[in-house]
Structure 1
Amino acid sequence: TGGSVVLPCSCADPQSTVTTFTWHFQQRNQWIQVFQDEKYSGRRVLFDELSPTNRSLLISDLRTNDQGYYRCMTEPNIITYVDLNVKGCDLVENRKTAVVTGYSGESVVLPCSCTELQAKPEHIQWNYFKENKHKEIYPNEQIENYKNRVKLFNPNTPGNLSLHISALTTEDQGHYQCFVSSQQVVAVRLRVEGKKTCVHPINLTTDQPSHLTQDSTTSQLKLIPQHHTPQSVFILLGVFFSVLLLALLAFTCWRCRGSRNAKKVTTDGEELKREQVNQDDVMYSAVVHVKTASTPAHTHSDPAELTEYACINVKCY
Structure 2
Amino acid sequence: MYVKCIVVAILLVVADGFTVRGPSAPLVAPLGSSLVLPCFVDKPLPVKGLEVEWRRTDSETLVHLFLEGESRPEVQQQDYQDRAHFFTDQIQHGNFSLRLDNLTAEDEGNYTCKVYSQQDSGETEVQIKDVERLLVSGSSRSMSAYDGEDVTLNCSIDSHIKPEHIEEVSWSKTDEDEDIPVLLFLNNETFPQDDQYRDRVEFFTDEIPKGNFSLRLKSVRIEDKGVYICQVFAGVLSANTTVLLERLGESTKHGKINNAVC
Both structures adopt the same fold (TM-score exceeding 0.5): no
Q: Which has the larger radius of gyration?
A: 1
Q: Which has the higher contact order (CA 8 A, sep 6+)?
A: 2
Q: What is the TM-score of this pair, normalised by structure 2?
A: 0.41
Q: What is the TM-score of this pair, normalised by structure 1?
A: 0.35
* More strand per residue: 2
